[in-house]
Amino acid sequence: FASLSSVVQRNPSFSRLNSDDIDFFRSILGEKNVIQDEDRLLDANTDWLRKYRGSSKLLLQPRSTEEVSQILKYCNSRDLPVVPQGGNTGLVGGSVPVFDEVIINLGLMNDIISFDKVSGILVCEAGGILENLSSFLDNQGFIMPLDLGAKGSCQIGGNVSTNAGGLRLVRYGSLHGSVLGLEVVLADGSVLDMLTTLRKDNTGYDLKHLFIGSEGTLGIITKISILTPSKLPATNVAFLGCKDYSSCQKLLVDAKRKLGEILSAFEFLDNMSMDVVLNHLEGTRNPLPSTMHNFYVLIETTGSNDSYDKEKLEAFLLRSMEDGLISDGVLAQDINQISSFWQIREGISEALMKAGAVYKYDLSLPVEKMYDIVEAMRTRLGNSAIVIGYGHLGDGNLHLNISTPQYDDAVLAQIEPFVYEWTSNHRGSISAEHGLGLMKANKIFYSKSPEIVQIMASIKKLLDPRAILNPYKVLPHSLRS
């Protein structure tokens, strides 16, 4: 676990929890949803990567917006800090306490409030698990506009508050586009009803955007209205081998042009990523077993006419092979093959966890420069670490991951600040889709100017003057009250 005391000090203006507080929470939530059980607290205090561990003594499980409001009103009046928590699958230490913050888990607030089959607009509570929402929509002939490896545990409220990207962004855009409305509880307990179901509404500042991606530091999202695309009948997935990164890039340009509106995912991984998956995830096999390729690309198309889509994809693949952009490839023949191809790409994070210690960087970079940082890092680290690169090539989002058998401060010192400086020098983002959390709060200046960060701090002060909401996250320590 990262040593937190060297990174951040507990805010001395915060109170300590006492027995009157517990009595109050019991009075509003009932005995069973005021949790002090050590095992459950240990889980809720520990992040998915097992890198950060807080020491909260209290987990609250509200069942309604009204209960969230009462909790926050009380905590604000008592200067008790809180951490909103969804599925706790974040990768930057944003969803766990740093010290003794009260954990507010939204998991019991998982109702679907309405679904309009004409417009495809879903209104639901924040604690709905992404996969459950997808299954609900599947029965209605729709899909969620986002999909990610953590779908079985992550909650839509967490997805929205971190502005999660995922595997479909290349087709359906970010949550800033799909989310139409929100209900949010502010630190003082007031409820902002922005839960519109309108596609268009230009009546002044669109405040919901402040809460999308602010990682629970400005308010707690309790309800969401989201535009969902129709489920199309034809999905095809190709798994391809490429000789170099430049071929992957050219393939992307061609895919956008030639597959056009049916392109729904364009993912890549290097051969080191493939090795990690094959070595650590049981039951996986390389879809292209005969030769090792330097890079692999997964292309998914989704459209309304299977034979037309297949013909289009096959013609594209044939042409790309003739042009030398693809060395080998295979088109999934059934749903099992589709899921086995996706399992390789989606399983990389889990495989890395099994391989040892992992240092994660989620970068946005111009596509043509994106892989240079992987090579630069390999040169820097030599034999001391395995450096892998994969991610959402279609969105210019690289997941640079570095794996060592054990955690090593000397390796970290080689990686940081180099990785942040390199990204900043190329006008990239140090967090493409994972957020800043605790891990990168102090690194914000690599991606945002002092003027912008100052405005962010002013907005924080306006909405959460006592700074009780997800403290120590997102904003740099120097600017916190």
CB closer to ligand AKG out of 11 and 163 = 163
Q: What are phi and psi of 239, to 5 degrees?
A: -115, 120
Both tokens of residue 356? 């040892």
Residues between 292 and 321 with contacts to ligand AKG, criterion CB under 6 A:
none
CB closer to ligand AKG out of 391 and 471 = 391
Q: From 157, 189, 150, 134, select the one nearest 49 (Cα to Cα).
A: 150
Distance of CA 172 to the CA centre of its chain: 16
CA distances from 112 to 92, 127, 156 (A): 29, 10, 11
CB closer to ligand AKG out of 76 and 349 = 349
CB closer to ligand AKG out of 219 and 394 = 394
Contact call for residues 475 and 453 (beta carbons, < 8 A): yes
CB closer to ligand AKG out of 11 and 162 = 162
CA distances from 8 to 83, 472, 473, 480 (A): 16, 7, 10, 11
The least CB distance from residue 277 to ligand AKG, in Å, is: 11
Which ranges constitute the DSSP H helices of 123-244?
A: 130-140, 156-162, 169-172, 175-178, 208-211
Report d(CA 254, CA 257) in Å as an integer.
5
Both tokens of residue 238? 């190709």
CB closer to ligand AKG out of 303 and 435 = 435
Binding letters toward ligand AKG, positions 412-451, x by CB under 6 A: ----------------------------------------
Q: Are strands 328-331 and 386-392 parallel, antiparallel or unpaired?
A: unpaired
Length of the chain: 481
CB closer to ligand AKG out of 91 and 262 = 91
Both tokens of residue 140? 């209605």
CB closer to ligand AKG out of 186 and 439 = 439
Site residue total, ligand AKG (CB under 6 A): 8
The least CB distance from residue 416 to ligand AKG, in Å, is: 15
Cα 2–Cα 346–Cα 369 angle in degrees, nearest 5 = 75
CB closer to ligand AKG out of 234 and 338 = 338
The least CB distance from residue 361 to ligand AKG, in Å, is: 8
The least CB distance from residue 453 to ligand AKG, in Å, is: 25
What is the number of the residue whose Cβ is closest to ligand AKG?
A: 349
DSSP structure class, residue 9: P
| Interface residue with ligand AKG, options 62, 87, 90, 149 (CB under 6 A) | 149
The DSSP-derived string for 99-157 is SSPEEEE-TT---EEEEETTTTEEEEETT-BHHHHHHHHHHHTB--S---TTTTT-BHH
Q: In what order do the strands lie in the sheet with 179-185?
A: 112-116, 121-125, 220-227, 179-185, 191-194
Distance of CA 119 to the CA centre of its chain: 26
How many C-beta atoms lie closer than 10 Å to residue 307's C-beta?
Answer: 8
Report d(CA 291, CA 327) in Å as an integer.
10
The least CB distance from residue 398 to ligand AKG, in Å, is: 10
The least CB distance from residue 226 to ligand AKG, in Å, is: 20
The least CB distance from residue 401 to ligand AKG, in Å, is: 5
Binding letters toward ligand AKG, positions 90-109, x by CB under 6 A: -x------------------
State the distance between the two ends of the chain, measured CA to CA, in whole angstroms: 26
Binding letters toward ligand AKG, positions 39-78, x by CB under 6 A: ----------------------------------------
The least CB distance from residue 147 to ligand AKG, in Å, is: 10
Residues between 328 and 387 with contacts to ligand AKG, criterion CB under 6 A:
348-349, 360, 362
CB closer to ligand AKG out of 152 and 233 = 152
Report d(CA 279, CA 403) in Å as an integer.
13
399 touches ligand AKG (CB under 6 A)? yes
Both tokens of residue 205? 């500042």
CB closer to ligand AKG out of 97 and 149 = 149
The least CB distance from residue 355 to ligand AKG, in Å, is: 12
The least CB distance from residue 360 to ligand AKG, in Å, is: 4
The least CB distance from residue 167 to ligand AKG, in Å, is: 7
Q: Which residues bind ligand AKG (CB under 6 A)?
A: 91, 149, 348-349, 360, 362, 399, 401
